Amino acid sequence: MKKILIDGSSLTLKSLERVTRGMEQVELSEKAVQKITRARNLVERFVEEEKIVYGITTGFGKFSDVFINKEDAKTLQRNLIISHACGVGDSLSEDVVRGIMLLRANALTKGNSGIRLVTLNLLIDMLNKGVHPIVPEKGSLGASGDLAPLAHMVLVMIGEGEAIYKGEKMTGAEALKAASLEPVELTSKEGLALINGTQVMTSVGAHALIDAIKLCKMSDIVASTTIEALNGIIDAFDDRIHQLRPHKGQINTAKNIRTILNDSKMTTNQGELRVQDAYTLRCIPQIHGASKDALSYAIEKVEIEMNSVTDNPLIFPETEQAISQGNFHGQPMALIFDYLAIAVSELANASERRLERLVNPALSNGLPAFLTPVGGLNSGFMIVQYSAASLVSENKVLAHPASVDSIPSSANQEDHVSMGTIAARKLRDIVFNASYVLSMEWLASVQAIDLRENKEMSTATKFGYNKLREESSMIIKDRVMNIEIEKTHDLLMKQSFVNEIEEMVGEIEI
């Protein structure tokens, strides 16, 4: 299998996912090797000449005015890692940890961090051989980078900490040995080069973004099924309307709905059954479209961050300088992930309101209460809506921005922090919740289709209907709804399912 070349400049969300979830391998470009070696030579010169350079011949943070001689360089770097490994809470998922390792390695290939080639190669070998450090998800302020969680990654590199290898939890030393790898003894600048960066927040946020892109596409598919179930008015999706307010996401969403419902006989026209639909049907292009525009902006910013150098100090071999600066500050990602959290929350908000219209007999255009043929004896989809409402309410709490908070650290030397990793984790949780709300809407819309006399769905929505009905039959008598929701969610979130729909109707654009 051809390996993905990392050069510090060309990683994308797609190539990230290929490595983190597809388990593809990576290798350094030849040019990167040259740049890494050149920067490392300069660091070693600084050490030999005992030049005062932050993090190379000095302590860290408030201790930046403490000189460290070259004899203590290795002790300094080891102490940095073991003292900074202060993470707590649940471990980050395997794909996120692989993303952290990949992004950290990619940043180091730029040749501005001063790490040794042998140290970087160990990180890449761990990634390629599946040695995955256990990284607690909490403990980062998101400025000075993701110090605590990245330190847990580096613990394994020095033969400490814990890792997962071939599905088994073991010590870092055991995992390296099992993979035929040797721990490394860090020396000058290497500890900072490995932990001073935004790779944890970027990996968590990038994976949430990847899932949110899929969610946006599924939102249009699910909403189209609901439009049919409620005999929605198709006129509101006329391209002429959206060209008069030409936001890209809005135009694309209207086009998606028109394409998906192109041959449906279950939609209606303005004035046929009613003059206009409620907002969560009529305004799907405006609601979904605004969220898609947020995603499009985020994709650009996240891919910039994925190919950035974010440690401190930065090494510039061409001018023989090491400059102390602030690229480690997570604010650019913190704001993006807070923005995305709001955007994805809105997809769930609209979905839950459409679900309410399906189950509420006062709003459903003739469907039985709670989508059950025998109400009273059976509750049908009553509590499905409760559960969706709970997830939407939780999202509203999680959507409060993390980036507006800051607590000074390191004796006020680091007096403004981003909380970007908290923002990324909240975004991840919102995407998770939203995916279940959409699943509940889809399950209910398919049930509603079964309760309609006219079932002449569009080709695309009928395909989805059939796929779901292979997993979950129509609910006549009450049964354990959690099981049906999980089946629906598993199908909805399969990339292959999205691909099959797109083969029929063309790309569902965001």
Output the DSSP codes for 263-327: T-SS-B-TTTS-S---HHHHTHHHHHHHHHHHHHHHHHHHHHHHT----SSEEETTTTEEE---T
My answer on whether 236 and 163 are in the same domain is: no
My answer on whether 443 and 467 are in the same domain is: yes
The tokens 């939609």 sit on which residue? 267
Dump pLDDT digits (tens) for 393-408. Answer: 999 999 999 999 999 9
CATH number of the domain enclosing 67: 1.10.275.10
Sort strands 131-133 and 162-165 into parallel, antiparallel or unpaired.
Answer: antiparallel
My answer on whether 211 and 64 are in the same domain is: no
My answer on whether 83 and 167 are in the same domain is: yes
Dump pLDDT digits (tens) for 92-133. Answer: 999 999 999 999 999 999 999 999 999 999 999 999 999 999
pLDDT at 59 over 70: yes
Residue 269 lies in a domain: yes
- Per-residue pLDDT, averaged over 217-244, amounts to 98
My answer on whether 166 and 253 are in the same domain is: no
Torsion, Cα of 44, 48, 51, 52 (10° steps): 70
My answer on whether 230 and 320 are in the same domain is: yes
How far does the chain reach from its first CA to its final CA, in angstroms?
31
Gap between the Cα atoms of 180 and 157, Å rounded: 13
Three-class HEC string of 212-279: HHHHHHHHHHHHHHHHHHCCCEHHHHCHHHHHCCCCHHHHHHHHHHHHHCCCCCCCECCCCCCCCCCH
pLDDT at 62 over 80: no
Amino acid, single-letter form, for residue 367: L
Contact 231, 266 (CB under 8 A): yes
My answer on whether 117 and 242 are in the same domain is: no
Among candidate residues 54, 165, 339, 465, the one labeled active-site is: 54
Dump pLDDT digits (tens) for 413-445. Answer: 889 999 999 999 999 999 999 999 999 999 999
Alpha helices in 328-401 (DSSP H): 331-359, 382-398
pLDDT at position 1: 65
Three-class HEC string of 2-53: CCEEECCCCCCHHHHHHHHCCCCCEEECHHHHHHHHHHHHHHHHHHHCCCCC
54 is catalytic: yes
Mean pLDDT of the chain, nearest integer: 95
pLDDT at 34 over 80: yes
CATH number of the domain enclosing 217: 1.20.200.10
Residue 510 lies in a domain: no
pLDDT at 81 over 80: yes
pLDDT at position 413: 85
CB atoms within 10 A of CB 262: 12
CB atoms within 10 A of CB 2: 7
CA-nearest of 127, 188, 123 to 154 is: 123
Domain boundary among 149, 170, 197: 197
Sort strands 321-323 and 162-165 into parallel, antiparallel or unpaired.
Answer: unpaired
My answer on whether 74 and 181 are in the same domain is: yes
Residue 395 lies in a domain: yes
- Per-residue pLDDT, averaged over 158-173, amounts to 98
Angle between helices 420-451 and 459-471 (to 10 degrees): 100
pLDDT at position 66: 81
**Of 48-62, 265-279, 394-408, 496-510, the least confident:** 48-62
Residue 501 lies in a domain: yes
- Per-residue pLDDT, averaged over 230-239, amounts to 98
pLDDT at 462 over 80: yes
Domain boundary among 180, 197, 214: 197
- Per-residue pLDDT, averaged over 377-384, amounts to 97
Q: Which DSSP helix (H) or strand (E) runs through 132?
A: strand 131-133
Residue 262 lies in a domain: yes
Q: Is the dihedral of CA 224, 226, 230, 236 positive or negative?
A: negative
CB atoms within 10 A of CB 296: 16
What are phi and psi for residue 489, nearest 5 degrees? -65, -45
| Residue-wise burial string across 198-209, b where 16 or more C-beta atoms lie within 10 A, e elsewhere | bbbbbbbbbbbb
pLDDT at 194 over 90: yes
- What token pair was written down for 282? 């009529």
Residue 229 lies in a domain: yes
pLDDT at position 242: 98
- What token pair was written down for 173? 């030393």
Gap between the Cα atoms of 467 and 450, Å rounded: 14
Residue 60 — very low, low, confident or very high, per pLDDT cuts 50/70/90?
A: confident
Domain boundary among 197, 217, 238: 197
The tokens 């030849």 sit on which residue? 30
Residue 68 — very low, low, confident or very high, per pLDDT cuts 50/70/90?
A: confident
pLDDT at position 53: 83
Gap between the Cα atoms of 293 and 238, Å rounded: 20
Amino acid, single-letter form, for residue 322: A
Amino acid, single-letter form, for residue 61: G
- Per-residue pLDDT, averaged over 199-216, amounts to 98
My answer on whether 356 and 418 are in the same domain is: yes
My answer on whether 190 and 209 are in the same domain is: no
Residue 342 lies in a domain: yes
**Of 271-275, 296-300, 385-389, the least confident:** 271-275
Amino acid, single-letter form, for residue 198: T
pLDDT at position 302: 98
pLDDT at 337 over 90: yes
pLDDT at position 73: 84
Number of domains in the chain: 2
CA-nearest of 483, 388, 496, 403 to 441 is: 388
Residue 257 lies in a domain: yes
Gap between the Cα atoms of 343 and 421, Å rounded: 18
My answer on whether 323 and 422 are in the same domain is: yes
Alpha helices in 87-234 (DSSP H): 94-108, 117-129, 147-157, 172-178, 190-195, 199-229
My answer on whether 216 and 314 are in the same domain is: yes
The length of the chain is 510
What are phi and psi for residue 250, nearest 5 degrees? -65, -45
3-class SS of residue 380: coil
Residue 60: domain span: 4-197
- Per-residue pLDDT, averaged over 140-151, amounts to 95
pLDDT at position 232: 98
pLDDT at 211 over 80: yes
CA-nearest of 420, 424, 469 to 445 is: 469
For residue 427, CA distances in Å to 11, 66, 424 come to 22, 39, 5
CB atoms within 10 A of CB 397: 10
